[in-house]
Structure 1
Amino acid sequence: MTNWGMGRPALAALFLGLAAPAQAADLLQVVTKDGGPLVAMPFDGGEICLTWAHSVTGGAVADCFAAQDERLILVRSYLHDYAAGLGEVAGRGRVVPAERGGYWIVGIDEMLPVNGLPLRVGPARVGHKLTGTAGVVDLSALAANSLVTLRVRPE
């Protein structure tokens, strides 16, 4: 089970409380390897976070995205600790402590490629999920061990 160092209501408020530069009509679309639609979530002027359990430590990790000009922007990342492959990268945001453990890297504001973000969805123990104002989508339940692409599309 993922430990975010906070209860679900606090985590949801943390994810949903920050406004991002999205257009109300933008959708985060998840497409399969062959380009077929799997699921879509509205940005609704906010952000959508991809969450999962770190492959080495099992701790919570999140990447939070906004939409701009029909592209994903990596806004911030949550990391449970400075474990393998985690931590600050010079010139790519700044680290701030999370209220109940772990830390956020904020101000990343990295524009992703126009064709989206490829993702190999992990099994249930990895728990890839999308969280936004429209709710939660469990990608691991829908497409475990499959290659998908996250991209922005107008509604």
Structure 2
Amino acid sequence: MWKRAGRPLAAALLVTAFPAMAGTLTVETAEGRVLLTERAPEGSEWCLSWNHSVTGGHVADCFVNREGRMILSRSYLHDFSAGLGEVEGRGGRLVNAPEGGYWLEGIDQPMPDNALPVRIGRPSTDHRLSVGGRQHRLSPLAAGERVYLQLE
């Protein structure tokens, strides 16, 4: 597990002290700097979006809290550029998106350790996290850094 020693205890104390925060999504750098914390209760969805590094087109991975597990539920692809499309061995079905592009729906892939490691791109990549009706721009906070999206 990627967490530093002592962090799981702090997370357990936070959930115990603030039961309304159960189901918390945290974005933290590899060095332990917390960039943001948001509620992510059972059934909620959050999406990590960015601009494709070659084409500049919109890409997104969307996750849900399902029984306390971080599940990759669907992905948006503007086209089938380098590195995009269906992944062999991964579930899901391709659906045309009304705004153009494609959604790969029904992926239902649990994330190991309830976490997603991400290298945040430069400002032109513009990594964004949408959760609870709010959008957080991650590139200005941590461009070039490895961060972890963690459901606790």
Query: Which residue number corresponds to residue 13 of structure 2?
Result: none
CA distance in 2 between counterparts of 1:100 and 1:37 reads 34
Q: Retained in 2: the 8 A contact 1:28–1:43?
A: yes
Partners of 1:88 and 1:68 lie apart in 2 by 23
* Residue aligning to 2:143: 144
Where 1:85 maps in the other structure, the secondary structure is coil
**Amino acid of the residue matched to residue 105 of structure 1?**
L
Report the equivalent of 1:71. 69
Judge conservation of contact 2:70–2:114 (CA < 8 Å) in 1.
Answer: no
Kindly tell me the number of residue pairs found equivalent between the two proteins.
131
AA aligned opposite 2:30: K
**The residue matched to 1:114 in structure 2 has which SS?**
helix
- Give identity over the alignment, percent: 48
**Aligned match of 2:78 in 57, 71, 80?**
80
Q: Are the equivalent residues in 1 in contact too, given 2:49–2:129 (CA < 8 A)?
A: yes
Choose from 21, 35, 38 the match for 2:35.
38
Change (3 A) 1:103 1:60: same
Would you say 1:25 and 2:22 are equivalent positions? yes
Residues 88-139 of structure 1 deviation map (CA, whole Å, 9 limit, x = unaligned): 2355200000002001000001000115111110111000000122401110
Alignment of 1:1-155 (within 5 A): 25-44=22-41, 45-90=43-88, 91-114=90-113, 116-153=115-152
1:80 deviates by 0.1
Point out the more displaced range, 83-92 or 102-111: 83-92
Asked if structure 1 preserves the Cα contact closer than 8 Å seen for 2:78 and 2:100, the reply is yes
Unpaired runs of 5+ in structure 1? 1-22
For the residue of structure 2 that corresponds to 1:142, the secondary structure is helix
Q: TM-score, normalised by structure 1?
A: 0.78
The 4+ residue runs of structure 1 with deviation greater than 2 A are 68-71
Cα distance in 2 for residues equivalent to 1:118 and 1:105:
21
Q: Larger Rg: 1 or 2?
A: 2
Q: Distance in 1 between matches of 2:92 and 2:50?
A: 21
TM-score by length of 2: 0.79
The alpha carbon displacement at 1:24 in A equals 7.5
**Unmatched 5+ stretches in structure 2:** 1-19
Q: Distance in 2 between matches of 1:63 and 1:130?
A: 10
